[in-house]
Structure 1
């Protein structure tokens, strides 16, 4: 029987069109419409209807069709894996039709959906798209060519790995790489008469460049020649892509630029001065790339420094109508008149993930109002030129000062505040690279910067805070001072340096209380940098007397800072906690700021998105305070568990298309921040966390977090599981089979993707922490299954991170220590790769745990131990110092038992000859062999 072809119901199409139209209407109840659309997502063929409306609704307004397309794209991101193959085919056919539509907005929406499908299903499953792209890149139809270039750009940007997969097609015998099919027609477009075509083709090729797919590798000379041929193109967009291509070539194939490198630098100097800021900005990236390239001789740039340095300085001056300047000046005026932005005018924050994670778990609905989006949104020629100067100073060091300093000195005295600001920016940029040459002038530079913190122009105050923070490290650790050996007593800081540091710190603290948000953020960042330098240079000693002033300033700012600047302020607190440690938890000290921190958390709402930075700061404080956090533990713990529960309820409601029960939307970052805070509390309190965990629903909530589809959430969930296991395993032992299964689910072949490695790493660690504290009889039933999964990780069958390999090796050792008899029959399968991985583990208590497993397991399967003896010997020799004398004796005993057992047959002597003399010498030194 032939497969049934899907056909739309006319009435359903009408309903969906009305919903989409209402959603565009400002008078409609959009929340209600959105709920209806969310509910419709669960109808199996809803995406087909959206595809039908998008591709075939020629009588509909383009706004309605685009709304259908964007909703389809978002649905497919989440649902493609569960979409049936016939529905996928229907949608794919519709999309190819729209990619060449006369309406540009529809074409580009189709390109976005195509990219989503390519990312979810792969190009190997859609050879028709690749063939269409290859054909359309040679099309004479402008709309078709534009649609092809737009779709290919988005696919390359979102899924560059797909550009090199091999696909089968009807016109070639063997599978071909997608890049091999598409790069030649892209190169053929470089001399195209249409500037958008030239620009689009170059943009796609530049996106491919870092990953070097086969099709580009085979045509690199043609690509480079194409860049040179377009260097003087009349279209600024094309020139921008030419510059970007040369910047991309520099670290990958500099040999293609070397024959004309003198002309390339001259070209970049000209483009840096180009009237189009986009072109100039791309060329400014060249100097950074040049300095970072390992395979390019710095000497090539030296003759151009007298021209390049002044050019960089010229481009470091604020433009007259710079957006950042206008914002800061407007805020200065508003603050002076008492009309500063109210908290209610600030959009909710979409915060970043904690320092231990790689990113957030959702998309912001708007710009991040904490300013986290600003570095990208406001990246401009001024900042890029300053970065270029920074990198050049780190390559050529004091050599650039004779060219640089006359310009800087003249600008510091200039009446134009923009010139003065650029001079301070330049001084800050070279503070690392030119520190030796500037060392004699350090007191003067610092003393010059401090008064600038009072400048009436806010951006001068901003840059002065930043520069002062950079120079503080040389105040604390003079450039000519010898570096003390690790662990040695630090030499006392000269009184003059202490006084200078304290003066600088006090001046920055005053700016933390500035009324301008831009200055507040810069001052907080500078203060955190100064705290870090104090920790490195004096192990925090120089900060001790300043802690009360810092905390009083932070406490006052907690009451008045807007949500825009809160994260920067909390970074000051977290950094200070890391430097000062438990001393920050002394009751009289903590009382200076903890009540204000709790008050701010409660005021914002403990589960509000903007409270995530507060939870991250509390995590740092708990880790620093250790048991001194006890007085604050219960309210913090209960609130964090409450946040976890609220987020889980909100996520379930979101999945069901229902409003959140407590009116708080699901935010992955808030969820993770709460779990990280609970993990920090468990780590800090250890056994003291037991009554808190016992009285909460935390253990019941953990499985859901560990099953979450978002890798960042799972990473936090397994970190929390491991810390709970270390603090009070008794609450986890009744569900041991469940926890083992959850951890192992992250270590199976399908789950070990590159993106999922952090979650897998934490799962392997958590499993080891739990099994180490479980009774041997409880571990034994799981030992074989656990060893099989860990062996897979260690075997090299899949590429894993160093951290995951190390944690897998330690966990396997802990299982072996607990249940050696259960593992002994299988030791021959995993012993060699396991021992090989243990060599790379640093000496600590975790390594001791792992080697206890070795010395308990190997005697139960001596034959497997002898087969892996070279790896065993190398692992035993990897120790520098074994703190546990009992373990050292056990290891020595195991080695001697092998020598005794295999000497009479001559096998021991043969083994000694196989091993490196240095290895045998190390075994004799450590174990008396």
Structure 2
């Protein structure tokens, strides 16, 4: 297709594009945006954008810099239009874009080249990876053979964009096609390109595929290894960085492939790790040790002969770099200085209930280097902060220092004695080193050894713990902070003394409590942060052993609330929250409750609805309410009303933002934490009090909740369905009249076809809570509204329990909901019993025995009674589980001696007569029943015979 546009319109559009990005006049920018929106409806807009992208300054009548701005804006606009309008585009327009875009990958501007690559990738993504098959040949040809280095690099970058944006389709398309099998040989060819940038990008593409472990790479490991070893000595640091990453991927994919080469690899990776001039390369090399330690069952044993080389390298790399030392040097008393807004790290609210992990998801923090961030090494010093430095925080990102400490930690679990004794001389030489960076690194190493080397270190701890206590007075704040973290790491050792030396445990525990609390009042904010983080670890580890000290602890927290600045206030809330989780009802003691709630109430009154501090305060209060239970009642009226107000105002702001793009969306944090705090109060307050609060809420709670369970935010929906379920449990008489508005939304939410791939984990968490709230509503008397939707509910719940791609935790909740539905709707579920019984019985085997499981099996039994022939091969599993439940404390906890009906909860009575009738039916209907019954395990047989002697004797 050839196309010629109007030159005047072309130049006008270019001017609008320029003004939309760079005009100093706000009105001009707004006007340009309006004109661009209007132009977007033109059938020729795509063609004009392509022409602008390909034009020079003279043609556009713009300066060189303005031309660059206009072309960059054209590329961005083009990508967005392809993304949103692809299906409506004329095929001739698509053909024109495809024919003209490829040459642009060689543009002189790096930014334009990169933008062109994004456009090409979007075209492939929207049309499908095989809709434009020649794009691969054209890009690889340019990347391999073009005389222009820029064209080679731009084409290679476009290939990378395609790989990243279309990974699932490239790995496997419907029909069994695997386009990756055709791409790999071409990528291997680019790894030998004369251009180092192209070599690096090609290896980056391969590494990206390796994260998904395709069989096509496993089949070509020998070729890949040959190329990687050749690139190991590449002059490009970027190429060598990707080589290190490839080696780490090979450890994960096929560890045996690197074993024959381990001797040379150890020396190579140590050399790269010690490259002080290239921190990204050094970090990627250090990642190898972390990866190999994580796969220690397969490979770490092979590292034994090399530990004397590896461990000193890790220790050496745990010392701050010269640049970091310069930024940290001189940190002194700053506790009275207000925090700058940019110093406060983002903090995001997450729902208390239903957090799930998606199968094969990456759990943790992946930075630009694809690196790991072990959670147990992310506290205290490992998250070092520079409050004063204007050049940024040296510990904001995953770095060589953190990675080396994490690798030492994991390796110590495989070689505790070897690692400790190799490290011991370093520790002895540097724990009292006059140079603070060496002291600090030694304490970091000492803390990193805590987990794996606990047994080996134990004989030294009676001397080392007091020594660490003295380091809390070190003149350098950085050393004091890392010492807090290290002490937190050794709390577990102190707790383990409880059985053998209880008096010694109390002595050490009191010493650590006292000194960490003192450090929480340090004159340096970074030390306060480290001490507070370490104290959270202490509370998490020691739990109820801290009960004798809770009053002293909350008194010190009270003082912290008076003095902490914004950033550390967030960590203090976490301390209180952890204390509430681990100590629980002890917080309801009048003397403790008075101190703690006075401090929190002061903050409550001081923090405005617009403050970023509000949502961590709300989150903290939800845990405190759960711990204090009815003792929280005196504070509930004011807090409940404010939560309602926050939810209402946030919803109004969201509605305004949806209607008018000029309004900023308020975000979901305060909405999530307000809903969670409302949930906590509904759960723990007396029915009379919570009913009063809900009845008097303005606006009405359930009106707001209907909006929340339909929110665009998955986190808000998740918390909304948690609150809905809690209301079903505790406030059903008030919820019942509202169910006609909630049930259709619940039914829609249960449809897994509505889930979005990019929000899989969050979406699963919402479905999980929707299943739970459905089960809670089903178990209530008077929940007739469900009957109108029972067929849809059944089909959607069945889709969940029968889909292997759904996380097991969600499937289990769905199975429980389905069983609970059987209590009231057994007639509706009985005809489909043969379909869902196998999934139900399989999933319920892994569910802990609790009231919900009993309720589910009671409903399941009622369904079986209506259609016993449908149970079939699952009868054995049914009898086995019923026997386990009969023998459990849950079923027998209600009314003393077993009678025909035993009350398990205030909501349900289990009918042993129903179970007896079912067993009698099978005894009469199953040929050779006694032989069949012998398939039930002995213990379960005995339980059933003991419970139903008249049937089995």
- TM-score, scaled relative to structure 1: 0.86
- Of 425, 432, 444, the residue aligned with 1:425 is 444
1:312 equivalent to 2:303? Answer no
Post-superposition offset of 1:159: 5.2
Deviation at 1:377?
4.0
* Pairwise CA distance, 1:457: 1.2
1:814-893 map, 5 Å: 814-865=820-871, 868-879=874-885, 881=888, 883-885=890-892, 886=900, 890-891=911-912
Partner of 1:671: 671
In structure 2, which of residues 153, 156, 162 is the aligned counterpart of residue 149 of structure 1?
156
Q: What secondary structure is seen at the aligned counterpart in 2 of 1:301?
A: helix
1:614 Cα deviation from its structure 2 partner: 1.7
- Structure 1 residues 467-476 or 716-725, which shifts more? 716-725
1:864 is displaced (CA, Å) by: 2.2
Question: Which 10-residue stretch deviates more, 616-625 or 893-902?
Answer: 893-902
Quote the Cα distance in structure 1 between the aligned partners of 2:36 and 2:946. Answer: 69
Aligned to 1:249: 250
Please give the per-residue CA displacement for 1:467-520, whole angstroms capped at 9, x wherever unaligned.
011112212223xx76xxxxxxxx8x6333323222222221222222333222
Q: Among residues 489, 507, 513, which one is paired with 1:505 in the alignment?
A: 513
Which of 16, 21, 24 is matched with 2:22 structurally? Answer: 24
Matched, 1:908 2:919: no
**In the alignment, which residue of structure 1 is the partner of 2:280?**
278
Of 47-56 and 590-599, deviating more is 47-56
Q: Do the aligned partners of residues 890 and 720 (structure 1) sit closer, same or farther apart at CA in structure 2, a change above 3 Å counting?
A: closer
Going from structure 1 to structure 2, the CA distance change for 1:391 and 1:812 (only over 3 Å counts) comes to same
Which residue pairs with 1:626 in the alignment? 629
CA contact (8 A) 2:17 2:74 kept: no
Where 2:233 maps in the other structure, the secondary structure is: coil
Question: Which runs of 5 or more residues in structure 1 are unaligned?
Answer: 168-173, 361-367, 483-490
Partner of 1:228: 229
Matched, 1:568 2:574: no
Distance 1:565 1:522 in 2: 10
How far apart in 2 are the matches of 1:83 and 1:751? 23
Cα deviation, 1:849-888, whole Å, max 9, x if unaligned, reads: 1011022222222332457534433442453515325568
Q: How many residues are paired up?
A: 889
Q: 1:61 aligns with which of 67, 73, 88?
A: 67
**Match of residue 764 from structure 1:** 771
Query: Structure 2: 5+ residue runs without aligned partners?
Result: 58-65, 358-362, 364-382, 893-899, 903-909
After superposition, the Cα gap between the structure-2 partners of 1:423 and 1:781, relative to the gap in structure 1 and judged at 3 Å, is same
Cα offsets for 1:379-420 (capped at 9, x unmatched): 222221111211111111123232211121111232111111
Instruction: Quote the RMSD (CA, aligned, Å).
Output: 3.9
Q: Secondary structure at the match of 1:592?
A: helix
Equivalent position of 1:170 in the other structure:
none
Alignment of 1:83-94 (within 5 A): none
SS in 2 for 1:784: helix
Structure-2 separation of matches of 1:241 and 1:868: 52
1:514 alignment partner, SS class: coil
Which residue of structure 2 aligns with residue 654 of structure 1? Answer: 657
Deviation larger for 128-137 or 143-152? 128-137
Matched, 1:812 2:818: yes
Q: Does residue 1:389 correspond to 2:396, yes or no?
A: no
User: Aligned pair 1:472/2:491, yes or no?
Assistant: yes
Is the contact made by 1:24 and 1:64 (CA closer than 8 Å) also made in structure 2?
Answer: no
Q: Which residue of 2 aligns with 1:685?
A: 685
How many Å separate the matches in 2 of 1:908 and 1:38? 78
Task: State how far apart, in whole Å, the 2-side matches of 1:641 and 1:124 are.
Answer: 52
2:207 corresponds in structure 1 to: 206
User: Alignment partner for residue 397 of structure 2, among 363, 368, 378?
Assistant: 378
Residue of structure 2 equivalent to 1:487 = none
Deviation per residue, 1:13-59 (Å, 9 max, x gap): 83784365254245536996798599879979898599558735644
Structure 2 CA distance for partners of 1:24 and 1:507, relative to 1, 3 Å = farther
Aligned residues of 1:387 and 1:429 also touching (Cα < 8 A): yes
Q: Work out the CA distance in 2 between the residues paired with 1:253 and 1:850.
A: 44
Q: Do the aligned residues in 2 keep the contact of 1:273 with 1:280 (CA within 8 Å)? A: yes
How far apart in 2 are the matches of 1:351 and 1:616?
11
- Residues 45 and 917 of structure 1: is their aligned pair in 2 closer, same or farther, counting only changes over 3 Å? farther
**Is residue 2:561 matched to residue 1:534?**
no
Q: Does 1:751 align with 2:754?
A: yes
Tell me: CA distance 1:344–1:923, structure 2 relative to 1, closer, same or farther (3 Å).
closer
Taking structure 1 as reference, are residues 832 and 500 closer, same or farther at Cα in structure 2, changes over 3 Å only?
closer
8 Å Cα contact 1:609/1:667 also seen in 2:
no
Q: TM-score, normalised by structure 2?
A: 0.84
Q: Assess if the C-alpha contact under 8 Å between 1:163 and 1:177 holds in 2.
A: yes
State the shift of 1:352 in Å.
Answer: 5.0
1:16 and 1:671, CA in 2 relative to 1: closer, same or farther beyond 3 A? farther
1:454 positional shift: 1.7
Instruction: State how far apart, in whole Å, the 2-side matches of 1:673 and 1:212 are.
Output: 39
Question: Aligned in 2, Cα 1:375/1:163: closer, same or farther, shift over 3 Å?
Answer: farther
1:761 is displaced (CA, Å) by 1.0
Q: 1:485 matched to which residue of 2?
A: none
Partner of 2:897: none
Distance 1:658 1:531 in 2: 45
Cα deviation, 1:768-807, whole Å, max 9, x if unaligned, reads 11222251543333322222221222234x5211111111
User: Contact 1:54–1:66 (CA<8 Å) still a contact in 2?
Assistant: no
Aligned residue runs from structure 1 range 54-133, under 5 A = 55-56=53-54, 58-59=56-57, 60-70=66-76, 79=84, 96=102, 98-113=104-119, 123=129, 127=133, 129-130=135-136, 132-133=138-139
Equivalent-residue separation in structure 1 for 2:97 and 2:706 (angstroms): 36
Counterpart pick for 2:432 among 378, 394, 413 = 413
Q: Is the 8 A contact 2:384 2:396 kept in 1?
A: no
Q: Are 2:102 and 2:139, in contact at CA under 8 Å, matched by a contact in 1?
A: no
